[in-house]
Amino acid sequence: MSSVERFLRLAVFSCLFVFTASHSLAQVVATAPPLSTDLADYNNRWDAFGGFGYTRYTTTVGHQLNSNMLGFKGQVTGWINPTWGLTASTGNYSGSVALPANVTGVTSASISEHMILVGPDFRLYKQPKYTIGYHFLLGGTYGIFDTSFKSGGFEPNVVNLPNNQLAFAVATGGSFDYSINPKFSARGIIDFQPTHYGLAFQKDVAAAVGVVYKWGVLKK
């Protein structure tokens, strides 16, 4: 066999090999699953949370009075980098508290509080589908305690509730975000949330569940 024939045969076999390999590779690429579109990349500049909120209000002066308060919680976070940012939070809660026998004759009172808090927020543990965070927020809360006493002309302090006032508040705790897609996550929050109405701290706890919307891009 001449060198020309050997060359032609080698060329034919090489072409067949390249064609077969290319066809197989194309099939693999065509059948490969698309890249996931539900993973968080934690490169968003902002996120906003809104959802259902709960707080357990507990007095610590005189008779211990408790109330399960429900309402709305919202947060906006500006991220400095993928690990930490600054959060502004609002919580608006209302409920009723059972009262012991008293001179007013009122057996239960409607109460509400409205919070504005700010502070640092940290993503302590990040995974493509979820993250665990920690925050420490400081600010104020305005409590309204006289709704059930206005007609009688009594002040709430007669039944060991604080009078209406602006008070110091803290929210420190954790959050869990589960990525729905790059723009939306589901979030759960648990906080120790003490307030300082009157002359004592109220040792409140709070929780919230809702949805996070993310937008903007951090500069690299």
CA–CA dist 94, 54 (Å, integer):
9
pLDDT beyond 90 at 119: yes
Contact 47, 212 (CB under 8 A): yes
Q: How confident is the model at residue 36 (pLDDT cuts 50, 70, 90)?
A: low
CA–CA dist 109, 97 (Å, integer):
5
**pLDDT > 70: what percent of the chain?**
80
**pLDDT > 90: what percent of the chain?**
56
Residue with tokens 């919680």: 73
Tokens encoding 37: 């579109």
Contact 90, 113 (CB under 8 A): no
Q: What pLDDT sits at residue 155?
A: 87
Region 147-170: what's the mean pLDDT? Answer: 87
CA–CA dist 206, 113 (Å, integer):
13
pLDDT beyond 80 at 49: yes
For the ranges 25-29, 35-39, 85-89, 156-160, the one whose mean pLDDT is highest: 85-89
Identity at 197, one-letter amino acid code: Y
Nearest to 109 by CA among 163, 149, 155, 55: 149
Identity at 40, one-letter amino acid code: A
Q: How confident is the model at residue 4 (pLDDT cuts 50, 70, 90)?
A: very low
Q: Is 65 exposed, middle or buried (0-12, 13-18, 19+ CB in 10 A)?
A: buried
